[in-house]
Amino acid sequence: MAIDVVTVGVVCADVMVKPVESLPKRGSLAIAPQLELHLGGLAGVTAAVLCRLGAKAAFTGRLGQDGFGDFIMNTLSSMGVDVSRVRRTTECGTSATVVLISADGERTFLHHLGTNVLTCEEDVDWDLVSHAKVLHWGGTSITPALDGEPIGRIFAKARKLGVKTSMDTCFDGKGIWFPHIEHALPHLDIAMSSIEEAQHYTGQETPEAIADFYRSFGVETVMVKMGAEGLYVRNAREAHLIPAHKVPVVDTTGAGDAACGGFLYGYIQGWNLRRCGQLANAVGALTVQVMGGAEGVHSLDQVLVRMGSD
């Protein structure tokens, strides 16, 4: 079966509340003007955006036998993502996040790890991966059974099969950082991080130094996501700083995950580095204008129009 990208790692249900500028007094009640349920998670959103752009993507991981799990399965499937390899379990509930969004789009998270804790090497379907172009791991530091040596073994095996490997980092609330990704880096083709996360994972401050750090391990391509400052992309031949689009911001949740989907789409099409970065940047610009990580992207044509609008 032909597949473009297999994603493994974090998927969750995002319960999104806006606007939240302060918490209500303990034991009291406050009215939430806007409360919505959306698909979230680094691996899930990236897979969904890839399909919205016209690629073939599959998600592998675990979900609970509960309402949140049903919601995620149905949402991914409706967006075109292959979920046939997802494992359902009663060991614990599906991962979910309460996202408190301020009026300017900044987010504060209350995250329940749930079934993402259980996702492990056994969940990687090698028959599926062997037919893919890219294996993408989304969720460093919040996929404990993949962090460290396991993801190193997974990426090494994928590369032996001729499959490119990709990683999108996540914030590490425990402060461990680098050891979670250390074993992946020698077997990694594409590293993608927000600049705040990358500064912790690499110990470097600037996007240039961050890219140098990743590339010192043999990583082919690096994308540093810088929010309102845009994107920095780098490979062995070129580097580009791509300014962010000036758009009204409703919610920044999942914009980075969606941008990874945009970049990977261009990558598997064989686009040059700058154009891949521009597509990722445009995907991010569309995403921040609506609630949810994947809902702002409807088609490749829509994103191409956004690319050429500034």
Could you tell me which residues come within 8 angstroms of residue 65 by beta carbon, excluding any fewer than 6 positions away?
Answer: 88, 89, 90
Distance of alpha carbon 154 from alpha carbon 298, whole angstroms: 32
Go through the chain and tell me how many residues it has.
Answer: 310
* pLDDT in the model for residue 250: 86
Distance of alpha carbon 199 from alpha carbon 210, whole angstroms: 7
What is the DSSP code (8-state) at residue 148? T
pTM: 0.95
What does pLDDT average to in each consecutive run of 10 residues of the chain (310 residues)? 92 94 93 94 97 97 97 98 96 94 84 94 96 97 96 98 98 95 98 98 98 98 96 97 93 92 98 98 96 92 88
Residue 15: which H helix or E strand, with range?
Answer: strand 12-18
How does 30-63 read in b/e, with b if 16+ C-beta sit within 10 Å?
eeeeeeebbbbbbbbbbbbbbbbbebbbbbbbbb
Distance of alpha carbon 294 from alpha carbon 89, whole angstroms: 25
Domains of the chain, earliest start first? 5-19+32-188+243-305 (3.40.1190.20)
Bridge-based pairing state of the strands 239-242 and 221-225? unpaired
Residue 15, strand partner residues: 37, 98
